[in-house]
Amino acid sequence: MAAPCPLPPPDPQFVLRGTQSPVHALHFCEGGQAQGHPLLFSGSQSGLVHIWSLRMRRALTTLAGHGGQCVTWLQTLPQGHQLLSQGRDLKLCLWDLAEGRNAVVDSVRLESVGFCRSSILVRGQPRWMLAVPGKGSDEVQILEMPSKTSVCTLKPEADAKLGMPMCLRLWQADCSPRPLLLAGYEDGSVALWDVSEQKVCSRIACHEEPVMDLDFDSQKAKGISGSAGKALAVWSLDGQQALQVCGTHQLTNPGIAEVTIRPDRKILATAGWDHRIRVFHWRKMQPLAVLAFHSAAVQCVAFAADGLLAAGSKDQRISLWSLYPRA
Task: Provide the b/e sequence for 194-226 (b: ≥16 CB within 10 Å).
Answer: bbeeeebbbbbebbebbbbbbbbbeeeebbbbb
Q: What is the dihedral of CA 214, 215, 217, 218, to 10 degrees?
A: 80
Q: Judge contact between 42 and 49, C-beta under 8 A.
A: yes
Q: Please compute Rg for the chain using Cα positions.
A: 19
168: left (phi > 0), else alpha (psi -120 to 50), else beta? beta
Phi then psi dihedrals of residue 147, to 5 deg: -75, -15
| Cα distance between residue 195 and residue 282, in whole Å | 28
Residue 146 burial (CB < 10 Å; 0-12/13-18/19+)?
middle
Q: Could you tell me which residue, 298 or 323, shows the higher pLDDT? A: 298
321: nearest Cα among 301, 299, 297, 295: 301
**Burial of residue 182 (number of CB atoms within 10 Å: 0-12, 13-18, 19+):** buried
The b-or-e profile of 239-265 (16+ CB within 10 A means b, else e) is: eeeebeeeebbebeeebbbbbbbbeee
Per-residue pLDDT band at 35 (split at 50, 70, 90): low
Question: Any idea how long the chain is?
Answer: 327
- In three-state secondary structure terms, 100 is helix
- State the pLDDT at residue 37: 76
pLDDT range class, residue 7, cuts 50, 70, 90 = low
Q: What percentage of the chain has pLDDT greater than the value 90?
A: 81
Q: What is the mean pLDDT of residues 214-234?
A: 96
Question: Using one digit for the tens of pLDDT, what is the confidence trace for 255-270?
Answer: 999 999 999 999 999 9
List pLDDT tens digits, range 39-98: 999 999 999 999 999 999 999 999 999 999 999 999 999 877 899 999 999 999 999 998
- Comparing CA positions, the residue from 147, 177, 183 lying closest to residue 162 is 183
Q: Inform me whether the pLDDT recorded for 325 exceeds 90.
A: no
Report all structural domains of the chain as residue ranges with CATH numbers, in order of start: 21-110 (2.40.10.480), 112-210 (2.40.128)
Please give the Cα distance from 207 to 185 (Å, whole number).
10
pTM for the full model? Answer: 0.93
